[in-house]
Amino acid sequence: MQDLGETKAAGDEAENGDVIGRKYLTFRTDNELFGIPIADVVQIIGIQEITPLPDFPKYVKGVINLRGNIIPVIDIRLRFGKPAIPYNEGTCIVVTRMEDACMGFIVDSVDEVTDLESDGISAPPKVSSDTTNKYLTGIGRIGERVVLLLDVGKILTESERKDVCGTAGQTAKPVSGEAEAGKTAAESKAAPGEKDAGGKIASLKKAEKPAAGE
């Protein structure tokens, strides 16, 4: 017979999983509102120095050093065929985990972490000339606003992801400070200059650049 305490713990765990499953991080790119599952988000950092990678498409901006971990960075604007704009104080890098590697996505600005119920999500269009549609998992509604829900695993093809991550020398080890096994990104504590991915997104402190010689 199962202990009542175990039953409650299992129920709480399932409930927490359901809550996280309904939470999305929303961000803006080219005046469009996008959302990705908070469970896919590791950290959010301000724009910082990016080391370019030779012989890659323009949307692959290069790599960053995140606490000793080399993370490839993709510019969402360029990947979606939008015009490039200068980065500013609102520009963020959303670090996500895709299978055995981490990837950073440059976005114009981060909006909020919000709940989206299944009845508020519609299926994405099946036929469209919009190049972003192949990355969509659905279209959500937050009040009067429309949110385009993305599958981060489809923003790059499998071969592109392997090439980029291989060049960056990524392995399956988690980013330092990332949520441990069994924890969600929302429970992971962000380092100074970063935002907690579970976000009570308040103010974004910019990641400090290392001093010369460090």
- What CATH number has the domain bearing residue 170? 2.40.50.180
* Domain carrying residue 139: 4-195
Which residues lie below 8 Å from residue 178, measured CB to CB, with a gap of 6+? 42, 43, 97, 102, 185, 188
CA distances from residue 207 to 1, 26, 73, 155, 194 in whole angstroms, order as listed: 52, 20, 15, 25, 6
Comparing 20-24, 97-101, 145-149, 185-189, the range with the smallest average pLDDT is 185-189
Q: Within 10 A of 34 (CB to CB), how many other CB atoms are there?
A: 26
pLDDT band at 169 (very low <50, low <70, confident <90, very high): low
Residue 49's pLDDT band (cuts 50, 70, 90): very high
What pLDDT score does 15 carry?
A: 47
pLDDT at 117: 84
Flag whether 213 is in a domain. no
* Domain count of the fold of the chain: 1
Report pTM: 0.71
167 domain residue, yes or no: yes
Residue 203 lies in a domain: no
pLDDT tens, 194-205? 554 444 344 333
The 3-state DSSP class for residue 166 equals helix
In a domain, 212, yes or no: no
Q: For residue 206, tell me if it sits in a domain.
A: no
Has residue 214 been placed in a domain? no
Predicted pLDDT at 132: 57
CB atoms within 10 A of CB 44: 25
Q: Tell me, what's the pLDDT at 127?
A: 59
State the pLDDT at residue 21: 55
- Does 66 map to a domain? yes
Domain for residue 201, yes or no?
A: no
Residue 184 has pLDDT above 50, yes or no: no
DSSP SS3 for 165? helix
Give the pLDDT confidence score for residue 1 in this predicted structure: 43
* pLDDT score recorded for residue 51: 93
